[in-house]
Amino acid sequence: MGLYDPPDGKTDNEQGNKDSFAISNALLNFPIEVEFVAVGEGEAFCSLCVEAMSPLLPREEGEAFDFDAVPRGKKYTKFKTKQRIANAEVLGNLYAALDGVEGMKFKY
């Protein structure tokens, strides 16, 4: 399960205690690392994603916004970034901000 593996020595089933629910705990215990992936079209697509997300993510002055841009065929680009999220509200707001990016085809 990648980032959501159960802790060593814990089972991951419905019969365990609250520590065994690795996926739900990972989504409910903030801060968390979240990988955002979006695919869209247009030369400025990745820049627009950064522009939409940046105001919602605190950064030190001069700190770069790390992301990968991967061409997907001739027309589309995949934008991928991993960010530390402070709470559920920020997480929802980031996905909402990406909804408004021009050229967005889908995100996850």
Q: For 35-85, write each residue's pLDDT tens digit.
A: 999 999 988 999 999 999 999 998 888 888 999 999 999 999 999 999 999
**Global pTM?**
0.74
What's the chain's average pLDDT?
84
Q: What are the backbone dihedrals phi and psi of residue 56, each rounded to the nearest 5 degrees, phi first?
A: -95, -5
pLDDT band for position 1 (cuts 50, 70, 90): very low
Question: What's phi and psi for 61, nearest 5 deg?
Answer: -60, 130
Query: Measured between alpha carbons, how far is 96 from 91 in angstroms, rounded to an integer?
Result: 9
More confident residue, 11 or 90: 90
Q: CB–CB of 81/36 below 8 Å?
A: yes
Domains of the chain are: 32-107 (3.30.70.260)
**Residue 36: strand, helix, or coil:** strand
Which 3 state secondary structure label does DSSP give 12?
A: coil
* CA–CA dist 87, 28 (Å, integer): 9
Q: What mean pLDDT do residues 11-22 have?
A: 57
